[in-house]
A and B are shown apart, each in its own frame.
Chain A
């Protein structure tokens, strides 16, 4: 008799009911995202508004520009600076200030939005903190270990040297902007899919430095000391450092709140999937919905004192670069067009210029 008990138990187990659990998950709404970096540099300045596609397992849609909004910047003197929507059809949802507008050190600003739907938003006040000037910039090639133990990552680190003012709480942020480099190709070399051509091997290409670091720093522990801080890192992809790379970036003095926000963004960007990572999260910015304070608005309205910085990185002054470099068997002018090999992009990319920009002065 005892020998039937296990069989009976197995039969009972197999015939156990499984009820599906239908989790009633609230669908996330399309949230408003604000990208606004207003500085003391000459205008015009821009505010970009988008409506995010909700995050989910399946594709739900694209991020949409938020058009027909009213956008204004107010300062603590009661002045209002209205931003008007860009007339460029390729830049919907971008709102532009007057040419002669720039932020002033010591002033406090609020960004105010009124969407076409009537919803209103305002930023928490941001005060422009003065940023000390950078004395000099230096750069060096660095090699970083990767998961592939045979191939390390090569890149260029740029270091800023400046005096932190004593007795003042300073928060710094270095923001890369579109940079330019000399694109060297091998149009006359054998071995590519394209037949060798006699022209052209040296063009000028614009680039947004990668990876997109969010580098911020506070002087809590080093107040008043001379600073040497890494302000940018550019990955050597085998193309960027074949000759000269001109890095442009902004040296910004930001508020403590902006520093905290950017630090958290950097944390999230650097998640590696390890158990020691902080949990992924939406980071609350400084925009508040006046209709629903619990609505989460992504992005941050950042106002900062800024210094425009530029450094020419010469290949022959780097200790090493990525080897072997990437060979491009193309007329360099055709570089962007060749990248869209399947011609899926309805907009034909422009030819790269052979002449340097007017202000190219390596």
Chain B
């Protein structure tokens, strides 16, 4: 008994020095989650659950079209000793099929499977093309889903050069050489499947013709222009010598010259004007301290009729005819967001709510369905309702602007449900904007001299006509543009 403490000590020593054997315990495979399925690709998360290290010689996932996993596609991820997560990725699945997937692990003696999960691979689809209209050799992007990295794009039957496939959803492709038709069906071939674009791709159109009816000896800037039926009017402003030009010329289709109209009012430059024949304000002469030109006019039924002048002064302002009324908006002389409305029935001027921003006459603008559209210097196209004073940004002008170089001097005109916008200073770009969808389509670039200013734009019988005052010369060119010509 007296040695009992020694026995206890001995037992403790045995306890401390007892051998620890490394045991390969059991484990469980969990097919944890289908992380993502896209096209032919699937990413699966699995987990080995164990309380100690495991001796796994191979592990991975099996994919099969049948629940009994006959003829499975296997992702093998090699041996491992530690429990935990593993992620498997395959890109060899078929599109539009239901798949079964399970994790597996191979030990020396056993092949262990995890639970089975199912998923369905999506069919490839083309959602949209951007831009829908593009020049040959340029790049467009096909947006959609389920695109393999080896996807091919066809314009009609012509295979195009694929630049890259991003995230299986965007294919950048170079537009092939122009074909017979300007509207081409586009398809994406991915794996064994074909996806068609709903809208056809279009090559740009538009032909320009320089007419032999130019304004000889007249070169205008800061002028006005308007149209009455098949007669176009242009005049006032400043001529090529830097002098005030106090006449308005007209051209009627079918004739072969521009004729003076005997304008009876004060000379004007930077007058506020509509495309329909209202105009007024502006300056009578040149210089910083120029005199305000305070008479306002309406050209109608072949004659100029003076209308009441507003109490406010307008110069370099935007003019618009909306619901039969003449609106004078913004400008340099008063508050740049001021809106005044002339009612021809009551022959009086009313106040309308101010614009939410200041405007001047050099901002490209047009009227469509009694709403005013303005492209600001940040290229944003604003839709403005002058009666509710609500403005909303609709789209962005697609060509670049160079500040103080190409961000002014452009033209815009509406023909049907489309607006034709562009030819800013020192730029050739001309665009068609669908006013129902606000989708831009490039037109063929202007081929003439770009050292010129736009003096007027008109439309008749599906054709556009525009005047370009040449900078180095003393004449104004008269051009016809067919938007659909190619």
Could you list which residues of chain A lie within 8 angstroms of chain B, going by C-beta atoms?
Answer: 70, 72, 74, 77-80, 82, 110, 112, 122-125, 288-290, 293-294
13 A-B pairs (CB sep. < 8 Å) = A72-B166, A72-B167, A74-B167, A77-B122, A78-B38, A78-B145, A78-B169, A79-B145, A80-B169, A122-B35, A122-B36, A125-B34, A125-B35
Q: Is the CB of B167 within 8 A of A124?
A: no
B247 at the A interface (CB under 8 A): no
Find chain A residues with CB under 8 A from B324 CB: none
Q: Which A-B residue pairs are the 3 nearest by beta carbons?
A: A80-B169, A78-B145, A78-B122
Q: Is the CB of A74 within 8 A of B87?
A: no
Find chain B residues with CB under 8 A from A82 CB: 166-167, 169-170
Find chain A residues with CB under 8 A from B35 CB: 110, 122-125, 288
- With most chain A CB atoms within 10 A of its CB, the pick from B38, B127, B166, B168 is B38
B33 at the A interface (CB under 8 A): yes
Contact among B36, B39, B45, B170 with A112 in the assembled complex (CB-CB below 8 Å): B36
Find chain B residues with CB under 8 A from A79 CB: 127, 145, 169
Contact among B39, B89, B167 with A290 in the assembled complex (CB-CB below 8 Å): B89
B473 at the A interface (CB under 8 A): no
Alpha-carbon distance A124/B32, docked complex (angstroms)? 11
Q: Is the CB of A288 within 8 A of B38?
A: no
B221 to A: closest C-beta gap in Å: 36
Find chain A residues with CB under 8 A from B11 CB: none
Find chain B residues with CB under 8 A from A122 CB: 35-36, 43
Find chain A residues with CB under 8 A from B87 CB: 288-290, 293
Find chain B residues with CB under 8 A from A112 CB: 36, 167
Find chain A residues with CB under 8 A from B146 CB: 78
A276 to B: closest C-beta gap in Å: 27
Q: Is the CB of B89 within 8 A of A80?
A: no
Q: Is the CB of B84 within 8 A of A294?
A: yes
Could you list which residues of chain B lie within 8 angstroms of chain A, going by C-beta atoms?
Answer: 33-36, 38-39, 43, 45, 84-87, 89, 122, 125, 127, 145-146, 166-170
- Smallest Cβ-Cβ distance to A114: which chain B residue: B167
Alpha-carbon distance A79/B127, docked complex (angstroms)? 9
Alpha-carbon distance A124/B122, docked complex (angstroms)? 19
- Smallest Cβ-Cβ distance to A71: which chain B residue: B167
- Smallest Cβ-Cβ distance to A284: which chain B residue: B85
Q: A124-B33, A293-B85 are in contact. List 16 more A-B contacts (CB 8 A).
A: A70-B166, A70-B167, A72-B166, A74-B167, A74-B169, A78-B38, A78-B169, A79-B127, A80-B38, A82-B167, A82-B170, A125-B34, A288-B87, A289-B87, A290-B89, A293-B86
Find chain A residues with CB under 8 A from B122 CB: 77-78
Alpha-carbon distance A79/B146, docked complex (angstroms)? 9
Alpha-carbon distance A78/B127, docked complex (angstroms)? 11
> Contacts A288-B45, A290-B43, A290-B89 given: A80-B36 contact, CB under 8 Å?
no
Find chain A residues with CB under 8 A from B145 CB: 77-80
Alpha-carbon distance A82/B164, docked complex (angstroms)? 14
- Smallest Cβ-Cβ distance to A73: which chain B residue: B167
Q: Is the CB of A294 within 8 A of B85?
A: yes
Q: Is the CB of A125 within 8 A of B169?
A: no
Find chain B residues with CB under 8 A from A70 CB: 166-167
A44 to B: closest C-beta gap in Å: 14
A49 to B: closest C-beta gap in Å: 16
A292 to B: closest C-beta gap in Å: 9
Find chain B residues with CB under 8 A from A80 CB: 38, 145, 167-170
A70 to B: closest C-beta gap in Å: 7
Alpha-carbon distance A123/B36, docked complex (angstroms)? 9
Alpha-carbon distance A289/B85, docked complex (angstroms)? 11
Find chain A residues with CB under 8 A from B89 CB: 290
Alpha-carbon distance A289/B89, docked complex (angstroms)? 11
Alpha-carbon distance A153/B34, docked complex (angstroms)? 48
Find chain A residues with CB under 8 A from B170 CB: 80, 82
- Smallest Cβ-Cβ distance to A110: which chain B residue: B36
Find chain B residues with CB under 8 A from A77 CB: 122, 145
Find chain B residues with CB under 8 A from A124 CB: 33, 35, 45
A88 to B: closest C-beta gap in Å: 16
Find chain B residues with CB under 8 A from A78 CB: 38-39, 122, 125, 145-146, 169
- Smallest Cβ-Cβ distance to B34: which chain A residue: A125
Find chain A residues with CB under 8 A from B166 CB: 70, 72, 82
Alpha-carbon distance A122/B38, docked complex (angstroms)? 13
B105 to A: closest C-beta gap in Å: 15
- Smallest Cβ-Cβ distance to A291: which chain B residue: B87
Alpha-carbon distance A123/B45, docked complex (angstroms)? 11
- Smallest Cβ-Cβ distance to A72: which chain B residue: B167
A208 to B: closest C-beta gap in Å: 29
Alpha-carbon distance A176/B89, docked complex (angstroms)? 38
Find chain A residues with CB under 8 A from B125 CB: 78
Find chain A residues with CB under 8 A from B169 CB: 72, 74, 78-80, 82
